[in-house]
Structure 1
Amino acid sequence: MKSCNSVRENATECKVTGQSVCSNQLRIMSLNIQCLKNKYLELEVAANSDHIDCLCVMEHWCRDSELSSINLSQFKLASQYEAKSLIIEKDFEAVAIQLYSLKKKIIVAAIYRSPSGDTEVFLKNSEEMLNIFSNENSTIILCGDFNINLLVQSPVKNKFLDILKCCNMFPHISAPTRTTDSSESLIDNIFSNVDTHEVAVTNVNIGLSDHNALTFNLTATPKEEENKKEYKRFFSTENCNRFKNNLKNAVWSEVLAQTNTNDAYNIFASTFMTYFEMCFPKKLLSYRSSGSKGTWITPGIKKSSETMKLLSLKLKTCHDQQFVVYVRTYKKTYRKVIAKAKLLSNDRLIRQASNKSRMLWKMVKKETGGQTKEQEINLKNNENIPIKKDAMANYVNNYFVNIPLTLSSKFKQQPTVTTPMVNTSMMAMPTDEHEVLKVIKCLKSKMSYGLDDVPVSIIKKIAPCVVKPIVHIANLSLSIGHDLKLFIMSTYFCFLGNKFLYTTYILCFSMILYADFCAFWACKL
């Protein structure tokens, strides 16, 4: 069973959700859909309505590039058949995934065999695959379109069932799965080594192809879900008022007495964070994770999906021309409705988002199946020696701060420039509390935060209480000069793992100083 790539249409794919809808159930759907591109929204509604956890699709007729652009909400592509060679193409196409669910190790495999495929090759590969699975001591669930009619006696049918029996696997479907005007056949099925009393199966035409959709529901003894734990701060009105009162009564004389920017800031930050931790302590919360739900699939759409199943079932026996036209019209309208519903849902999410551009790109990635890959950051110093991750932030800071000195050291002779005496001069006047409060007011009031968990909105609320030490630090930075650059640069680089992060309250206060400084020079120029 090889995983390959092909320019031709692939035959089988398997999707699996990250979490089951019910903790004591695993629901699997198998369907020969005969072209997925124009039916994936209907398939999504059907899977959502039946609370499907694992979806196996045969004959999707999609190339690799097309398949990657199809997205089913709540599902991720776990495995797909890709064929490089035509040796076993049509004869045996299979994919498999391994799940850990219901306190069991479960292998779910999907197989497709073309009607013109070589049965000997199919039987040989099926036997080899099942022998491998049997050695894993797992629950095995095998589904697919085998194109071996189990309603008709034949040597191929007997050999196939004998192979399955040797692995203690038996069929769960006994009724026809494909019905046409002239014939009925049982070519799709679900086999497993699970006792029939532990499973429930359905065999229903959902109107997506001339094959029925097969569902397999494996149940287990209900188990108590493990609660997830997470540390969280509560920014309630009461806590915010307490934080504000503490800062209001704080004594900043030690900060105001400092003549060094870094010392003044370190004392200020220490006092600020002490009161912050006191008023907004982290609390350990336990909660149960609830399965995600499709927001755009409304109860009305689910009801229409059930109606489609009933109409498709009735169409098998009723050939009245008016009824046939009615079913076609209903199906066409149904497809338009679900397409419009998803469009309106996406439009609503974009309109309600605070950052519309970010939400738009997030939605594009989701719909096209795109995934953001974290890139490893590697930096080398001048001696071509790799820099350690924990020292990378300081190296970047020092590099930018020392650019003037580095460039000047490369000149063999320092150039001298004679300029005429300027009668007028320009200087930076110290900032004041009014200007700093004006800058803070312009910040966006968001609950986003960095490593220290301090949201921007909290800083806006307590601004009058800390404006005095901020003004002193700003003026101290301007008077010394070089510390201002160090102070602003240090806010943007804090390396953690593979990502550059920043500390929110440092960034906000830096933005305050930087914006105040820029506003001053804009007025002068």
Structure 2
Amino acid sequence: MQGMLGKELELELFLKSSKIDVLCITEHWLRECQIIFNFDQHQVASSFCRLSAIHGGSLIIVNKNLKYKERNDIVCLSVEHSLEVACIEIENCIILSVYRPPSASYDFFEEKLEEILCKVSFKNNKYIIVCGDFNINLLENTSISKKFNLLLKSYNLVNLFLEPTRITSSTATCIDNVFTDAEAMQTLITTDLSSDHCGQLVALKCKVMKQVNKTSVFVPVNKKRMVRFRHNIGKHLPLLPVGTTVDTQYNNLSDCINKEFNTIFTPKKVSHSQCKSFSDWATAGIYKSRQRLYDLYAEKSYNHNEEFILYVRNYSKLFKKVCYAAKSLNIKNKIKNSTNKTKMTWKIIDSETGRVRDRNQDIELCVDNTIIKSNEEIAIVFDKYFSDIPISTTKSLESSPALAESLLKDNVNECKVSFTFRPIGADDIVRIFRTIDIRNTTDLWGISVKIISSIIDVIAPHLAIIFNNCIKSGEFPDLMKHSKVIPLFKAGSMSDPSNFRPISVLPTCSKIFEKIILNQLVSHFNVNKLLHNNQFGFTKGRSTADAGVELYRYIVKAWEESHDALGVFCDLSKAFDCVQHETLIGKLRHYGIKNTALNLLTSYLHGRTQKVEVNGKRSSGSAVDMGYHRAQFLALSSFLFI
């Protein structure tokens, strides 16, 4: 802050307007006798002041309503001109305000900081928050920045900022930061206070980490159960009643599968501790070495033998190298053994940068200034919000199925070849199923693709009969239209429903049928050359990368011919959610999809429902009258036909 004298009123106004509970300040430039000021709602909780020199220093200011304890055992470890720290402990976390002068030796700073981190983390189940001015630029990939990051990450402390915090006419550096193992709900760079450094505002979601047992319920899936499941399904399928409609036929098959599933795959309760774990990459040897390092640090407080101190320093360096190697190996194995290496890589990056959040853990929504905590109520709020998206997005648009059909007829010739579905065989069903990713995500009935994989060849002949009857009658089974929706957090405030996007899970049999229908429709469009030459998305053998190459060719050609190149880039907001079913049906008719084929696709789009699930609690459900879910293979590719 470069001196607090004369800035008390400015600071008090800032504290009042920003509703801050804890404020950490470095370079307060005060002597101990000068820290006598008092704020209206805040007070100094911990401080370090230089004795033999001017400037520097570190302190922590807290709200007077906050119960805290100053950690003098940590503050006394400060060393002037090297590491100057203030520290407090509150109910659920330990907060450190650290200042490292630019001229300080990094090796000595690292040694002292590691000693402090060992002390605050030993036998501790509280969150740790380390903030301050470290004078280490994290925007540069230097040996010091690497070692600094590695030290903090070895204690599961992740930096929350990678933006410049000190900006001059010639430089922009990130030398101030906040490191924590708590969940950050919001981070913000501020320049509200007069300082040559920017401030960092952080809203943290801290919960007391107690050593208590928590019970969770899950359905174990193993080879033995799947073999038994397959045997029972094969035994009962021949006894199924035939049924007169496709709904009856599919309901009978679904009831048989669900009955055997609920009999064999019974849920189990598991108790587990909620205490913080060290790391998933840590071996038994690393745990032992960590405990050995704690013992050495404890002994170093009274054993000042130079050889021993050198031994502790070398042991600490070796321990960090071993941790780095173990974590690197763990990451490499995760990527190597993953079926989707790109997705796994990004998952690791999100985890390392602190952007990962549990899907539905501890969601609290704020609706009309009311806090909603009940999972049942949260599920209802999400259900209504997701259902209202198409209405709120399209209410100001002047569009209608008739207008879209008129525009289509004026610009695209009608296809004279009528489309008919080809019969479906059991082999087709098995082949299509093998193109679907094997996942453990469960549908509304608790059944996953992995479960169906154990019986797909057994139920394929029955599915073939049902699917062929659907083609003949032009009806899509109602049970295949029910989806489970899980809200997935994107970014921003977790209390705002608009910061979540719906992830839908459909029955596996519906996915199979959709893919078969899609393949036959795409074949019709390709044979009759109904797709535009510049259609790259949702097209086999082409991608958005090819679109980029084509754009590049246009630009180069324009440049070679001394012409201007103008690009218009358009991103449709809520595109999947706002497709009008009647508009799509009218366009399909224009492309030669008629009679029972069109009836089947109409039945597929109409009468769909969704239920939102939050931590095992579900909404009562709502109708999906516009748009479609991203889990629908056929609906996603309908952009080809629009």
Structure-2-length-normalised TM-score? 0.42
Residue in structure 2 matched with residue 309 of structure 1 by the alignment: 297
Residue in structure 1 matched with residue 43 of structure 2 by the alignment: none
| SS across alignment from 1:442 | coil
Residue in structure 1 matched with residue 263 of structure 2 by the alignment: 278
Residue in structure 1 matched with residue 471 of structure 2 by the alignment: 478
Tell me by how many angstroms 1:248 deviates.
Answer: 1.6
Work out the CA distance in 2 between the residues paired with 1:237 and 1:410.
Answer: 52
Residue in structure 2 matched with residue 514 of structure 1 by the alignment: 514
Aligned identity (percent) is: 15
Residue in structure 2 matched with residue 228 of structure 1 by the alignment: 214
Residue in structure 2 matched with residue 76 of structure 1 by the alignment: 181
Work out the CA distance in 1 between the residues paired with 2:276 and 2:331.
Answer: 20
> Alignment partner for residue 250 of structure 1, among 210, 220, 236?
236
Letter of the aligned partner of 1:437 in structure 2?
A: V
Residue in structure 2 matched with residue 161 of structure 1 by the alignment: none
Change in 2 beyond 3 A, CA 1:475/1:336: same
Contact 2:27 2:99 in 1 (8 A): no
| SS across alignment from 1:512 | helix
Work out the CA distance in 2 between the residues paired with 1:426 and 1:308.
Answer: 79
Tell me by how many angstroms 1:460 deviates.
Answer: 0.9
| SS across alignment from 2:466 | helix
Tell me by how many angstroms 1:47 deviates.
Answer: 5.6
Residue in structure 2 matched with residue 456 of structure 1 by the alignment: 449
Change in 2 beyond 3 A, CA 1:395/1:467: farther
Residue in structure 1 matched with residue 569 of structure 2 by the alignment: none
Residue in structure 1 matched with residue 125 of structure 2 by the alignment: 53
Cα deviation code 1:67-86 (max 9, x no counterpart): 9x965428634899x99668
Work out the CA distance in 1 between the residues paired with 2:244 and 2:411.
Answer: 37
Alignment of 1:49-128 (within 5 A): 50-54=122-126, 60-62=132-134, 71=153, 72-73=155-156, 76-77=181-182
Work out the CA distance in 2 between the residues paired with 1:447 and 1:522.
Answer: 29
Report whether the alignment pairs 1:431 with 2:419: no
Contact 2:293 2:315 in 1 (8 A): no
Report whether the alignment pairs 1:294 with 2:279: yes
Work out the CA distance in 1 between the residues paired with 2:435 and 2:415.
Answer: 40
Report whether the alignment pairs 1:239 with 2:344: no
Change in 2 beyond 3 A, CA 1:397/1:509: farther
Contact 1:451 1:501 in 2 (8 A): no
Alignment of 1:212-227 (within 5 A): 227=213
Contact 1:12 1:59 in 2 (8 A): no
Change in 2 beyond 3 A, CA 1:61/1:316: farther
Work out the CA distance in 1 between the residues paired with 2:206 and 2:521.
Answer: 64
Alignment gaps of 5+ in structure 2: 1-11, 29-57, 62-70, 85-97, 101-105, 139-144, 158-179, 196-203, 368-379, 394-398, 489-496, 528-642
| SS across alignment from 1:250 | helix
Work out the CA distance in 2 between the residues paired with 1:78 and 1:391.
Answer: 28
Report whether the alignment pairs 1:346 with 2:334: no
**Greater C-alpha radius of gyration:** 1
Change in 2 beyond 3 A, CA 1:300/1:341: farther
Cα deviation code 1:96-154 (max 9, x no counterpart): 9998688xxxxxxxxxxxxxxxxxxxxxxxxxxxxxxxxxxxxxxxxxxxxxxxxxxxx
Tell me by how many angstroms 1:247 deviates.
Answer: 1.8
Change in 2 beyond 3 A, CA 1:410/1:388: farther
Residue in structure 1 matched with residue 355 of structure 2 by the alignment: 370
Choose 54-63 or 233-242, whichever is displaced more.
54-63
Contact 1:29 1:54 in 2 (8 A): no
Letter of the aligned partner of 2:297 in structure 1?
A: K
Tell me by how many angstroms 1:437 deviates.
Answer: 1.5
Cα deviation code 1:404-423 (max 9, x no counterpart): x941267689969998996x
Report whether the alignment pairs 1:408 with 2:396: no
Work out the CA distance in 1 between the residues paired with 2:453 and 2:415.
Answer: 45
Letter of the aligned partner of 1:429 in structure 2?
A: R
Alignment gaps of 5+ in structure 1: 15-26, 88-95, 103-224, 379-386
Letter of the aligned partner of 2:449 in structure 1?
A: V
Work out the CA distance in 2 between the residues paired with 1:421 and 1:342.
Answer: 59
Cα deviation code 1:264-283 (max 9, x no counterpart): 43343233212211222334
Work out the CA distance in 2 between the residues paired with 1:460 and 1:440.
Answer: 8
Residue in structure 2 matched with residue 138 of structure 1 by the alignment: none
Cα deviation code 1:181-206 (max 9, x no counterpart): xxxxxxxxxxxxxxxxxxxxxxxxxx
Work out the CA distance in 2 between the residues paired with 1:393 and 1:416.
Answer: 35
Tell me by how many angstroms 1:36 deviates.
Answer: 8.4
Letter of the aligned partner of 1:512 in structure 2?
A: I
Cα deviation code 1:157-199 (max 9, x no counterpart): xxxxxxxxxxxxxxxxxxxxxxxxxxxxxxxxxxxxxxxxxxx
Letter of the aligned partner of 1:242 in structure 2?
A: R
| SS across alignment from 2:258 | helix
